[in-house]
Structure 1
Amino acid sequence: MNFWKSKWKGNKRNKEPSSSMLDTSQETRLTTSLDENVQTVKKVFKNDADFSTRSFHLFNNIPATSLFISSLVDKEKINRDIIQPLQEKRSSNNEESANSTKKDLLQSLLNDYLYFADGEKKQDLSSLLDGLLHGKTVILLDGESQYLLLDTLKTEKRSIEQPETERVVRGPRDGFIEQMESNISLLRYRLPVPEFRVEPFEVGEKTKTKVSVCYLDNVVSDALLEEVIKRIQDISIDRILDAGYIEQFIQDNPRSPFPQVQNTERPDKAVGNILEGRVIILVDGSPFALIVPAVFNQFYQTSEDYAGRTIIMSIIRVIRFLSLIFSLTFSSLYITIVSFHPEMIPAQFVVAASSGRAGVPFPVVVEVLLMEVAMEILREATIRMPQQVGGALSIVGVLVIGEAAVSAGFVSPITVVIIALSTIGSFATPSYNAAIAFRLLKFPLIILSGFIGLLGLAVGLMFIINHMISLRSFGVPYLSPVSPWNKQGFKDSLIRAPLRWLTERPAELQPKDKVRVESGVESGPTNPFKRKGENDE
């Protein structure tokens, strides 16, 4: 825990004083009376059943009391590493040395007796209360106005498993968990370099949640790093319970439907973005890491893209991008063609399209809107239901309800097919928050197409594209490297060029070290089976 106390500088903003006990006791110092100090702390935790005290005699001589919150500490560690060494009677040979260290008894205990306990000396009451609430044990001695604050935190954590939301066929199987220390270790395991920095902060007036900013000191832009830290320090809220709270405060345009901060549960993806010159934000208690800045092409890419062959991965990326556009425009295009431009329907499908809509009482735009809303309700219900029931619910919704709606004449069979294909297209997007944005944007496109036709669809798409062009993420254009155009960056956007061609880091990030692959490697590996004197074809 020394990592946090040595780094944290506090929020730089001037804030109104709080009426909490921690703030009112900030300048309060303890006295030399052990009983008086214990009673002062008990008044604060008088109604807390898990607040515990234990009295003992230091070396069978000096009265002492340990204070801790039993639900946060490791009791076995307290008994083995703290109470037992302090209760052992010192030999007579050490009596004289005890008197010589009487003036600094607490420091002597830390240096010579508490071998396995990480701690420090404190004197103010606010640090004592804050330490207890963070799983530390306090040792009070009679005749001492200072005390020992020892780290005994015990946290329950789940094992490191493959992320549920970002599964891959080929790639690492470990994912972030809720404990920040474990997440940092996963990053350091993949980045064993001294330039890797982890800068901690505390955010939240009440929760005091630990937040870490991770970056490569010799790669990241100083301007980007300063902006990220400034936005985190400017956050003023009483609670931070998940990384999503941080995301909403640091994004450039909170009214935009498009995500400007990427999140991931995969350490390999986080490390890959750090090496490109981006900044990773970890929040204690959240298994998601935030990646800033984020551009649009990151949301249809996966870490698996870099582990496979170039041609295959490039084709898959194009398929993902087309699926994203497909899910946004397919329903609107269907309405436009059926309602305003039936001449665009091929001759062999005219009879099937017209006969399928025979007897449907609703206009096509109402029909599509009803099916899209029903699909969104079904999708949300499937997510919120227990896992054992969710699969059955989706099958019932797709097969039974869809078939019954067609048989009852409420919707046409071709409309069910169009909605199903549009929904499947949204499932191909790796990023959940980007898929949600496109799922919601298709509703205004459907309305515009139903009233104006192809012109409405074109106007709606122009508004969306214009908004994306004007969008920024920490000063980086959202559609980089397409707008503004960058040839080197395009090699890793819609397609994925061979790794030896990706010689430079993204130019829009303005990294200190732009070179990622030495130019000598660009020609590719040599052929060890080539005959002597044979030329390459």
Structure 2
Amino acid sequence: MLDRLGQSGDLVVRDFLLFGRYEAALIFFSSLVNQEQIQEYILKPLMDRSAGHPGMPDKLADMSHYIWNVAVQVTQGTTEQDLSALPPAIVKGQLILLIEGSSEALMLDMRQIDIRSVEQPQTEQVIRGPREGYVEKLENNLSLLRYRLQSTDFRIEISPLGTRTQSRVALCYLDNLADPKLVAEVMRRISIIHTDGIIDAGYIEQFIEDQPLSPFPQVQSTERPDKTVASLLEGRVAILVDGSPFALIVPALFNQFFQTVDDYTERFIMGSLIRMIRLIALAFSLFFPALYVSVISFNPELMPTDFAVAISGGRAGVPFPAVLEVLIMEVSMEVLREATIRLPQMIGGALSIVGVLVIGEAAVSAGLASPITVVIVALTTIGSFATPAYNTAIALRMLRFPLVLLAGMFGLYGVMIGTILIINHLLFLESFGVPFMSPYIPGKWRDWKDTLVRAPLWWMRRRPSFLYTQDSTKLPDSVPGTYIDQILQEGGETGERFPTDHDPARGSRNQ
């Protein structure tokens, strides 16, 4: 059995006398367990030589049962007679107790791995909302979900994945809410994954998405437990992997990637305004360079005369055509952005600001770019930063380059052709059987309440229809939406005050 584990430096085989009578041994990896707890709760009671062991069996066949029920103080454990199953259990952090002459081995769960504490999410920061983010340990992440979703319908199914890593994958959903067909489809796609290692949740995303060649993601990733719980309450399914601080949410639609927690924690007027600004930034990041190239190269008559004269004066010394100029600046900006991400945080912040200023000013002074081009590229970059989902922002950055090339070859017609192709591709996509552009196409009025704008929470009384949930009601129609609605329904006045100690009509609270 030990031959399969090899000559590992952290492999410990501790021989001792069980109750001073039987030869026994503990086998474990010291890097996966807490040795102090082993000494206190396992070795100390098992090596006790005193006669105070009531009910100790005379037969070794019953010794494992006696040790588990009387001697050791461990929450999880089991017995195993198949010796071939012991090495994989030791690798996972199990402690194996072998007794000479006994056909059973006792496996005790003593796994303990040091992890970082729960911190604020780095990629999904909000102004108003929870500050908790996932960590790498699966148990901690599941506890964050249980803390926020204290429902008896909450189901967690854990299974190993990866022939060598045996990474634990947790499938989370609400039993009486999520569509059973959706849950079965997610389980089916996960079960057909046959690879030797799953290191992160991103590995599973690439195996289960509908269209791997599409630039748009069809699986949403998040490191926020509150966002995961909100998706579960809508009828979606979440996937978590041991060792990954991200959760996968399916199905994921186009509209989800431009929503943040701030949209719902703030009042609906502010949330709608912020969302519309975010969508405008989306249009900036995707179409602005292409429109600039097409107007400059093919349709300058569309610009006001004074503006056209100012632009041509700034481009007087530039030796490149507009399309090549924009492509050079865009590639330079992408290289700078990637370098900023990979550098240490303190250095990267300084480089992003100083680099843009220095490179932009130097390019204009050297005649490699016009001032208006630098402004266009800067606005485009800022617009891409406003996209909440990082993978969606990358997709928009990828599509920006073919749009610029089409604009440089065909002008506004090229921009129109590229836009039509992008829209047709979005209409073709699906995420676990749900159209990617839902609820826009096909659409229902009740699903449009959380799209371009965010309607008040008391208006969104039903869950999205395209998820086919078992229970579509979020807020019953008979329940008033707000305090004002309740007062009007009761026929009272809205100016009624709370009772105070000095209110003569109600009396004193101290009475």
Q: CA offset at residue 117 of structure 1?
A: 4.9
Asked if 2 retains the 8 angstrom alpha-carbon contact of 1:82 and 1:117, the reply is no
Change (3 A) 1:380 1:299: same
1:283 aligns with 2:241: yes
2:64 maps to 1:106: yes
Per-residue displacement from partner, 1:371-407 (whole Å, max 9, x unpaired)? 0000000000000011111012112221111101100
Q: Does structure 1 residue 52 correspond to structure 2 residue 12?
A: yes
| Match in the other structure for 2:24 | 64
The code of the aligned residue for 2:35 comes to: K
For residues 137 and 203 of structure 1, the distance between their equivalents in structure 2, rounded to whole angstroms, comes to 22
Corresponding residue number in structure 1 for 2:484: 526
Cross-structure match for 1:262: 220
Maintained 8 Å contact 2:179/2:235:
yes
Look up the match of 1:30: none
**Structure 1 SS opposite 2:458:** helix
Aligned twin of 2:441: 483
1:208 maps onto 2:191 in alignment = no
Match of 2:38 among 75, 78, 81: 78
CA displacement, residues 78-108 of structure 1 (integer Å, 9 cap, x when unaligned):
11111111111242774xx434554311111
Q: Who is 2:302 aligned against?
A: 344
Contact 1:339 1:453 in 2 (8 A): yes
1:73: how far off?
Answer: 1.1
- The 5-angstrom pairing of residues 465-504 of structure 1 reads 465-504=423-462
Aligned partner of 2:361 among 403, 406, 409: 403
Assess if the C-alpha contact under 8 Å between 2:177 and 2:471 holds in 1.
yes
Counterpart amino acid of residue 194 in structure 2: S
Which residue pairs with 1:274 in the alignment? 232
Letter in structure 2 aligned against 1:374: S
What are the superposed Cα offsets for residues 415-468 of structure 1, whole Å, 9 maximum, x if unpaired?
Answer: 000000011000001000000000110100000000111111100000000000
1:186 maps to which residue?
144
Which residue among 317, 324, 333 is the counterpart of 1:366? 324
- Which one of 94, 100, 114 corresponds to residue 156 of structure 1? 114
- Secondary structure in 1 matching 2:107: strand
Distance 2:136 2:53 in 1: 49
Determine the structure 2 residue equivalent to 1:147.
Answer: 105
Distance 1:345 1:92 in 2: 97
C-alpha distance in 2 between matches for 1:71 and 1:251: 36
1:240 aligns with 2:198: yes
Q: Is the contact between residue 81 and residue 117 of structure 1 (CA under 8 Å) also seen in structure 2?
A: no
Q: Deviations over 1:209-233 (max 9, x none)?
A: 0000000001000000000000000
Question: Structure 2: how far apart are the matches of 1:472 and 1:344?
Answer: 38
Judge conservation of contact 1:120–1:148 (CA < 8 Å) in 2: yes
Change (3 A) 1:529 1:477: closer
Given residue 62 of structure 1, which amino acid in structure 2 is its aligned partner?
Y
Find the aligned partners of 2:178 and 2:290 in 1 and give their Cα distance. 42
Q: Taking structure 1 as reference, are residues 523 and 63 closer, same or farther at Cα in structure 2, changes over 3 Å only?
A: closer
Query: Equivalent residue of 1:499, what SS?
Result: coil
CA shift digits 1:334-384 (9 cap, x unpaired): 000000000011122122101000011000000000000000000000000
Contact kept, 8 Å, 2:5 with 2:87, in 1: the verdict is: no
Distance 1:147 1:93 in 2: 21
Q: Which amino acid aligns with 1:363?
A: P
Q: CA deviation at 1:126?
A: 2.6
Distance 2:280 2:420 in 1: 18
- What's the offset of the Cα at 1:523? 4.9
Instruction: Classify 1:46/1:482 alpha carbon distance in 2 versus 1 (closer, same or farther; 3 Å).
Output: closer
CA distance in 1, matches of 2:12, 2:397: 53
Give structure 1 regions of 4+ aligned residues with deviation exceeding 6 angstroms: 527-530, 532-536
Partner-residue secondary structure (3-state), 1:502 = coil
* Change in 2 beyond 3 A, CA 1:296/1:528: closer
Equivalent residue, structure 1, for 2:500 = none
| Contact 2:232–2:238 (Cα < 8 Å) also in 1 | yes
User: Does the 8 A contact of 2:45 with 2:72 survive in 1?
Assistant: yes
Matches within 5 A, 1:15-54: 40-41=1-2, 43-54=3-14
Percent identity, aligned pairs only?
Answer: 52
Are 1:308 and 2:256 an aligned pair? Answer: no
For 2:485 and 2:464, how far apart are their aligned partners in 1? 31
* 8 Å CA contact retained: 1:482, 1:490: yes
Please tell me whether the aligned partners of residues 79 and 105 of structure 2 are also in contact (alpha carbons under 8 angstroms).
Answer: yes
Distance across 2 between alignment mates of 1:93 and 1:51: 31
Given that residues 448 and 456 in structure 1 are in contact (C-alpha distance below 8 angstroms), is that contact kept between their aligned partners in structure 2? yes
With 423-432 and 121-130 compared, the bigger mean Cα shift is at: 121-130
Alpha-carbon separation, structure 1, partners of 2:70 and 2:381:
67
**Partner AA of 2:128 in structure 1:** R
Change (3 A) 1:93 1:400: closer
How far apart are the structure 1 equivalents of 2:101 and 2:407?
A: 81
Partner of 2:503: none
Separation (CA, whole Å) in 1 of partners of 2:53 and 2:389: 68
Of 398, 415, 421, 1:463 maps to 421
Q: Distance in 1 between matches of 2:9 and 2:481?
A: 69
TM-score (normalised: structure 1): 0.90
Kept in 2: contact 1:101–1:108 (CA 8 A): no
Task: Tell me how far apart the structure 2 counterparts of residues 70 and 460 of structure 1 sit (CA, whole Å).
Answer: 59
- Structure 1: 5+ residue stretches without partners: 1-39
Shift of 1:152: 1.0
Q: Distance in 1 between matches of 2:352 and 2:111?
A: 43
Aligned mates of 1:443, 1:73 — CA distance in 2 = 52
Q: CA deviation at 1:115?
A: 2.6
Distance in 1 separating the partners of 2:150 and 2:228: 14
- CA offsets per residue over residues 136-166 of structure 1, 9 Å max, x none? 1111111012111111111111110110111
- Aligned partners of 1:452, 1:227: CA distance in 2, in Å? 44
CA distance 1:534–1:267, change in 2 (3 Å)? closer
Separation in structure 1 between the aligned mates of residue 340 and residue 332 of structure 2, nearest angstrom: 12
In 2: Cα distance, 1:166 partner to 1:326 partner: 21
Mapped to 2, the partners of 1:504 and 1:533 lie a distance apart of: 27
Match of 2:76 in 1: 118
Quote the Cα distance in structure 2 between the aligned partners of 1:394 and 1:316.
25
